[in-house]
Structure 1
Amino acid sequence: MATPLTGSQLLAALRAEGLVLHEVGDWRRHNRNTKGAWGPVNGVVVHHTATEGTDASVNLCYDGRPDLPGPLCHGVIDKAGEVHLVGNGRANHAGLGDRFVLQAVIDEEELPKDRLADTDGNRHFYGFECINLGDGQDPWPEPQLLAIEKAAAALCRAHGWGERSVIGHLEWQPGKIDPHGFPMDTLRERIKSRLSKAPEGPVTSQAAATSDGSVAPDGSVTLAGAGGADGADRADRGEGVGGEADRAAGAGGAGGACRGDVGDEGRPSAVPPMPQHPPYEPFPGGEFFHSGAGGPVIAAMAERLIAEGCDHYRHGPAPDWNEAHRKSYASWQRKLGFHGKDADGIPGRVTWDRLRVPNAQSRPSG
């Protein structure tokens, strides 16, 4: 589960993936939030408009219809592969769908057949409407398919999701056929491949990054949202930062000096004296995280992951290390911009330090 992106964060995430964007009307304040909850968000739903023509389709998705007020999605993707932002918040796009499908999206598992219409999808999903008649004859140009891939991947990066967090309307709500004309499994494979690499970067070159993962004033995505270009934090364990040795070295070994004790801003930093009980739990080493490991460190880690919106705990976190912990931590790694083997769910020192797990001995008791 995750907190929805603000308008600026959404804009920045899409720009960082190399998309051409158009801001329509008052899209940042255009939503249906007065009619129901918005969030926590869990994924992305892809639709086709069943219309033709960019202007007419964008206007329809912004304004809606007499029986279905707009916005009807968050972004409209045209045939040229450009994205028109029409809403920010709850939108009338997903309708009622299957709760078991939602749970599979949260768990990032294979989707069951959608049979129920008992869960409010407008609360839990971002939506992209893609301009296509949906008759099986209207073509899907490659620039449009690429833009769908990029837009979905952008939101996955922003929230630390994998490709299984992207579904078609036909996989969510019984009776729907959209998007018609390409397989969702093929789209997910494309998204998976894209997420294994760093994002392309914004079309404009005015990117300004800060080390704490916030969004810069000019709307550009920073390190956490864009995938991380800072040389000191390129990889959690690999890419020349010591590999598994970085994990094994723990909080004080030679692995910590592999890059000359480089700080978050890429400058050499002095190592201050350690307090008796530091406020954050030191990295225990990657070998600590194995089946059967447990205790206050695992519990405190789970609390922080939930607070960061990286929650794959179906019934709450268990006291011992398990697959739900691994999936939740993998979401955190992806949220920081790591990918491939560097987002396998096994903590490394860089991502652990950024998670800021409270030290069990420094927390008040009782």
Structure 2
Amino acid sequence: MATPPSAAAFLKALKDEGLTVVEVGDWRTHNRNQKGPWGPVHGVMVHHTVSKGTARTVEICRDGYSGLPGPLCHGVIAKDGRVHLVGYGRANHAGLGDDDVLRAVIDERALPADNETSTDGNRHFFGFECENLGDGKDPWPAVQLEAIEKAAAAVCRLMGWDAPSIIGHREWQPGKVDPRGFEMSDLRTQLHARLGGKAPSKPTPAPPTAPVVDLSQLVAAARSNPKASGTPVTYAGVRTVEAALVDAGLLSKTYSDGHYGSSTVSAYAAWQRSKAGGGYRGKDADGIPGRTSLTALGRAHGFTVKD
């Protein structure tokens, strides 16, 4: 699932993971969506804030600053482990990054070195800013590191992802150093274990909808022009039936052109005469589709029929 979930689902996922969540103002509708789309989303990006003090950090991440309007992330993970939600939707947190890195995140494989700024990361990532000066000296309390892991796990469970979907800003955009003070590889290892040591089940895609052939429109197409070939008729169901006749070995691909010409008539007549097609004879096997023979063809070759 790459479509962003609702704000309510995001909030529930964080709470279900055992996090203490602080909802800041109108966070559910505070975003930069007017500047471009958010989604499809493919991963979670972790940052440090280069700031001190939770209240001020949350304010900056919500409102932004001159030249970079907020929100600057979706959630701020404070030193005490609380997650302050400041926005939901497109946020100014990731900037431009490496398209090869994005493909690796989507494939959930090892990341290549980031050496390009060609792809809009604000569109494709959730973002968590973590309260830290980012100088390599400011400590990362255990409760905060656990909260980062839980926040990442919450999104992974919600989206059907595993640990390779979590990256640091420094792994996305050349020149960035955040988050500084812990290893992203360690976070991914711990996250993988939290998720049960295996990738969560990804949503099962809906099976493709079987094509529907309208019998009356097909009959009209069959009676319209019995030439061998010509301009395709406007009814798309002809191509569906021709493809089935090709699969059945009754029609050459040469004449599978969306035109119910004489070759298609002959092929369909052969289907009608076959045992599977009804075993018709004489005028009942004239190549003009009937309900029984067409239903049998659809059952054998993956389409349904309506009158």
The correspondence of residues 79-158 of structure 1 with structure 2, limited to 5 A, is 79-158=79-158
The correspondence of residues 176-195 of structure 1 with structure 2, limited to 5 A, is 176-195=176-195
Amino acid paired to 1:96: L
Deviation of 1:134 after TM superposition, in Å, equals: 0.2
- Tell me: CA distance 1:143–1:98, structure 2 relative to 1, closer, same or farther (3 Å): same
1:175 matched residue in structure 2: 175
* 2:31 partner SS: coil
Distance 1:136 1:305 in 2: 50
1:249 matched residue in structure 2: none
- Tell me: CA distance 1:15–1:306, structure 2 relative to 1, closer, same or farther (3 Å): farther
1:67 matched residue in structure 2: 67
The correspondence of residues 318-357 of structure 1 with structure 2, limited to 5 A, is none
Unaligned runs of 5+ in 1: 199-226, 228-234, 236-300, 308-358
- Tell me: CA distance 1:360–1:168, structure 2 relative to 1, closer, same or farther (3 Å): farther
- Tell me: CA distance 1:21–1:113, structure 2 relative to 1, closer, same or farther (3 Å): same
* Bigger CA radius of gyration: 2
Give the fraction of aligned pairs with identical amino acids, expressed as a percent.
Answer: 60
Distance 1:302 1:60 in 2: 40
* 1:304 partner SS: coil
Distance 1:135 1:152 in 2: 23
2:224 matched residue in structure 1: none
1:304 matched residue in structure 2: 206
Deviation of 1:24 after TM superposition, in Å, equals: 0.2
Distance 1:360 1:82 in 2: 58
Deviation of 1:306 after TM superposition, in Å, equals: 10
1:364 matched residue in structure 2: 304
* 2:61 partner SS: helix
Aligned length: 215
Distance 2:91 2:167 in 1: 16
- Tell me: CA distance 1:86–1:306, structure 2 relative to 1, closer, same or farther (3 Å): farther
Deviation of 1:66 after TM superposition, in Å, equals: 1.6
Amino acid paired to 1:364: T
Deviation of 1:364 after TM superposition, in Å, equals: 2.6
- Tell me: CA distance 1:160–1:303, structure 2 relative to 1, closer, same or farther (3 Å): closer
Deviation of 1:88 after TM superposition, in Å, equals: 0.5
2:295 matched residue in structure 1: none
- Tell me: CA distance 1:197–1:107, structure 2 relative to 1, closer, same or farther (3 Å): closer
More helix by share: 2
Cα deviation 1:75-103 (Å, max 9, x = unaligned): 00000111000010000000000000000
RMSD of aligned alpha carbons = 2.6
1:45 matched residue in structure 2: 45
Deviation of 1:304 after TM superposition, in Å, equals: 2.2
Amino acid paired to 2:177: I
Distance 1:122 1:305 in 2: 31
Amino acid paired to 2:206: R
- Tell me: CA distance 1:305–1:26, structure 2 relative to 1, closer, same or farther (3 Å): farther
Cα deviation 1:148-196 (Å, max 9, x = unaligned): 0000010001011010000000000000000000000000001001000
| 1:54 and 2:46 are equivalent in the alignment | no
- Tell me: CA distance 1:163–1:306, structure 2 relative to 1, closer, same or farther (3 Å): farther
Deviation of 1:305 after TM superposition, in Å, equals: 7.8
2:26 matched residue in structure 1: 26
1:14 matched residue in structure 2: 14
Amino acid paired to 2:46: V
Unaligned runs of 5+ in 2: 210-298
The correspondence of residues 156-305 of structure 1 with structure 2, limited to 5 A, is 156-196=156-196, 304=206
**Which of structures 1 and 2 has the larger relative contact order (alpha carbons within 8 angstroms, sep 6+)?**
1
- Tell me: CA distance 1:305–1:69, structure 2 relative to 1, closer, same or farther (3 Å): farther
Cα deviation 1:263-296 (Å, max 9, x = unaligned): xxxxxxxxxxxxxxxxxxxxxxxxxxxxxxxxxx
Query: Structure 2-normalised TM-score?
Result: 0.66
- Tell me: CA distance 1:17–1:305, structure 2 relative to 1, closer, same or farther (3 Å): farther
2:4 matched residue in structure 1: 4
Query: Structure 1-normalised TM-score?
Result: 0.56
* 1:62 partner SS: helix
- Tell me: CA distance 1:361–1:145, structure 2 relative to 1, closer, same or farther (3 Å): farther
Distance 1:46 1:106 in 2: 16
Amino acid paired to 2:38: W
Deviation of 1:365 after TM superposition, in Å, equals: 7.0
Distance 1:142 1:360 in 2: 61
